[in-house]
C-alpha cells in the first residue's frame, strides 16, 4: 500500500467539499478518481499533496503519516502532483522549468548557481523533455508552448522531482480526443516503465476505463463507489450521479 487515505473531510465555510473519504492505492497501480464537476476531486488531491490540511482524517504515504505536512515536504518523500490549472514558470525556458524541479531533489539544492550546469541535472531534464516530445522546444519560453505542450511540460516538471507516486489532475483538459488518447498512452508507458504509481483525475470516461486498475467515484464530496472499471461502469449509483447532475 503506497497511499492510504482514511476518512478525510474538508470544509470551506458551510460547504463540505469532502466528507469522510477513504481509499487505498497499491504500489504500481493506476488509480483514477472520477465524479461530476464540483464533486471534490481536486480538493482531494490538494489534501493528499499537502496543499490543504484536512479538517479530519489521515493521509499515509509509504507508511508515513503525512497529514498536514506542507507540499515541499510531501514532495521530498516522493509524491508529485500537477495542477488542474497550469503551474509552470512562463518567463523562463522549457529546459529551465524542468531543471529547477530536478535540482530541487539534489542534496545541495540551496546552492542553485553551482548546480545549474550540473550534468546529472541537465541529463535528467533533457531526457524527460525528449520522452514527452519537447526536446526541440527546450530553449523556448514556456509561455510560447502550445496548450498541449504546456500540459506535457507540467508532467515533466512533476517527474523531474523523481516521485514514486504521481498525481495528475485532469492532465488532458483542453486537449482534443486524439491528443487525449496520445497523452494518456504516453503517460501510461512512462508510469509502467518507471514502476510508478499513478493517481489520476480524468474526465474522459473512455480514457479512465482503458487505463485504470481501480476507480473511485466522488459525488458531492462523498465516495459513492470504488472498484474495477467494469464494476464502476455498471454501478447504478454511478450512472445516477452522472445522469443526475454535473457535466464533467
The yes or no reply on residue 19 touching ligand ADP (CB under 6 A) is no
Shortest separation between residue 103's beta carbon and ligand ADP, angstroms: 30
Half-sphere exposure (CA, 13 Å, Cβ side) for 136?
1
The yes or no reply on residue 32 touching Mg ion (CB under 5 A) is no
Q: Give the residue from 223, 225, 224, 199 showing the smallest Cα distance to 213.
A: 199
Name which of 38 and 227 has its Cβ closer to ligand ADP. Answer: 38
Residues in region 209-228 near ligand ADP by CB under 6 A: none
Say how far apart CA 193 and CA 56 lie, in whole Å: 36
Asked if 5 and 216 count as a contact pair (C-beta separation under 8 A), the reply is no
The yes or no reply on residue 42 touching Mg ion (CB under 5 A) is yes
Name which of 37 and 206 has its Cβ closer to ligand ADP. Answer: 37
Residues in region 24-63 near ligand ADP by CB under 6 A: 35, 37-43
Give the dihedral sign, CA 131/136/140/144. negative
> What is the pattern of x (binds Mg ion, CB under 5 A) and - over residues 79-98?
-----x--------------
Name which of 124 and 241 has its Cβ closer to ligand ADP. Answer: 241
The yes or no reply on residue 174 touching ligand ADP (CB under 6 A) is no
DSSP state at residue 4: E
DSSP state at residue 85: S
Q: Give the residue from 162, 159, 160, 136 showing the smallest Cα distance to 149.
A: 136
Residue 87 contact, options Mg ion, ligand ADP, none, Cβ 5-8 Å cut-off depending on partner type: none
Cα angle for residues 14, 17, 21 (degrees, 5° grid): 130
Residue 16 contact, options ligand ADP, Mg ion, none, Cβ 5-8 Å cut-off depending on partner type: none
Segment near Mg ion (CB under 5 A), from 34-42, 98-106, 136-144, 180-188?
A: 34-42
Asked if 66 and 23 count as a contact pair (C-beta separation under 8 A), the reply is no
**Distance from first CA to last CA of the chain, Å, rounded?**
29
The yes or no reply on residue 12 touching ligand ADP (CB under 6 A) is yes
Say how far apart CA 240 and CA 185 lie, in whole Å: 29
Residue 9 contact, options Mg ion, ligand ADP, none, Cβ 5-8 Å cut-off depending on partner type: none
159 CB-near residues (< 8 Å, 6+ apart):
80, 128, 166, 190, 194
Say how far apart CA 114 and CA 101 lie, in whole Å: 15
Name which of 16 and 93 has its Cβ closer to ligand ADP. Answer: 16
The yes or no reply on residue 161 touching Mg ion (CB under 5 A) is no
Shortest separation between residue 65's beta carbon and Mg ion, angstroms: 25
Shortest separation between residue 24's beta carbon and Mg ion, angstroms: 22
The yes or no reply on residue 15 touching ligand ADP (CB under 6 A) is yes
Element containing residue 115 per DSSP (H, E): helix 112-115
**Can you give the binding site for ligand ADP, defined by CB under 6 A?**
12, 15, 17, 35, 37-43
**Can you give the binding site for Mg ion, defined by CB under 5 A?**
41-42, 84
Amino acid at each position: 500500500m503506497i497511499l492510504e487515505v482514511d476518512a478525510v473531510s474538508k470544509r470551506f465555510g458551510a460547504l463540505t467539499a469532502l466528507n469522510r473519504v477513504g481509499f487505498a492505492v497499491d504500489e504500481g497501480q493506476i488509480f483514477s478518481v472520477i465524479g461530476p464537476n464540483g464533486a471534490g476531486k481536486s480538493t482531494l488531491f490538494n489534501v493528499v499533496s499537502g496543499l490543504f490540511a484536512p479538517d479530519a482524517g489521515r493521509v499515509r504515504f509509504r507508511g508515513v503519516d503525512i497529514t498536514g505536512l506542507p507540499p515541499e515536504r510531501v514532495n521530498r518523500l516522493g509524491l508529485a502532483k500537477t495542477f488542474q490549472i497550469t503551474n509552470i514558470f512562463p518567463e523562463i525556458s522549457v529546459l529551465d522549468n524542468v531543471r529547477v524541479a530536478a535540482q530541487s531533489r539534489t542534496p545541495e539544492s540551496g546552492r542553485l548557481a553551482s548546480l545549474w550546469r550540473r550534468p546529472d541535472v541537465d541529463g535528467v531534464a533533457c531526457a524527460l523533455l525528449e520522452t514527452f516530445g519537447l526536446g526541440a522546444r527546450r530553449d523556448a519560453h514556456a509561455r510560447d508552448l502550445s496548450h498541449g505542450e504546456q500540459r506535457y511540460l507540467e508532467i515533466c516538471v512533476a517527474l523531474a522531482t523523481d516521485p514514486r507516486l504521481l498525481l495528475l489532475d485532469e492532465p488532458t483538459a483542453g486537449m482534443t480526443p486524439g491528443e487525449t488518447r496520445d497523452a494518456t498512452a504516453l503517460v501510461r508507458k512512462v508510469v509502467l516503465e518507471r514502476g510508478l504509481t499513478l493517481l489520476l483525475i480524468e474526465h474522459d470516461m473512455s480514457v479512465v476505463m482503458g487505463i485504470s486498475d481501480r476507480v473511485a467515484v466522488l459525488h458531492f464530496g462523498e465516495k459513492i463507489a470504488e472498484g474495477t472499471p467494469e464494476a464502476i461502469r455498471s454501478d447504478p449509483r454511478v450512472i445516477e450521479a452522472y445522469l443526475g447532475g454535473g457535466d464533467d
